[in-house]
Amino acid sequence: MNDFSCPPLRAGGISIECTVADGAVCLAVAGSADADTSAALASFLDGLHQELCRVHAPRVELDVRELAFINSSSLKAIVAWIGRITKLEHEAQYGATFVVHPELRWQSRTLDAIRLFAPSIVTIEKRE
Residues of the chain with pLDDT under 50: none
Q: What is the per-residue pLDDT for 15?
A: 98
Q: Are 83 and 122 in contact (CB under 8 A)?
A: no
Measured between alpha carbons, how far is 120 from 128 in angstroms, rounded to an integer? 25
Domain range for 83 is 9-126
Quote the longest CA-to-CA distance of the chain: 36
Q: Hey, CA dihedral for 41, 46, 49, 50, is it positive or negative?
A: negative
Domain count, the chain: 1
pLDDT of residue 27: 98
Is 1 inside a domain boundary?
no
Question: What is the reported pLDDT for 19?
Answer: 95
CB neighbour class for 127 (10 Å; exposed up to 12, middle 13-18, buried from 19): exposed
The predicted structure's pLDDT at residue 1: 63
Is 109 inside a domain boundary?
A: yes
* Predicted model pTM: 0.95
CATH number for position 119: 3.30.750.24
Residue 22 lies inside a defined structural domain of this protein: yes
pLDDT for 24: 87
- Is 107 contained in some domain? yes
2 domain residue, yes or no: no
User: Does the residue 3 lie in any domain?
Assistant: no
Residue 114 covered by a domain: yes
Which are the contacts of 39, defined by CB distance < 8 A and separation ≥ 6?
Answer: none
Q: Is residue 95 part of a domain?
A: yes
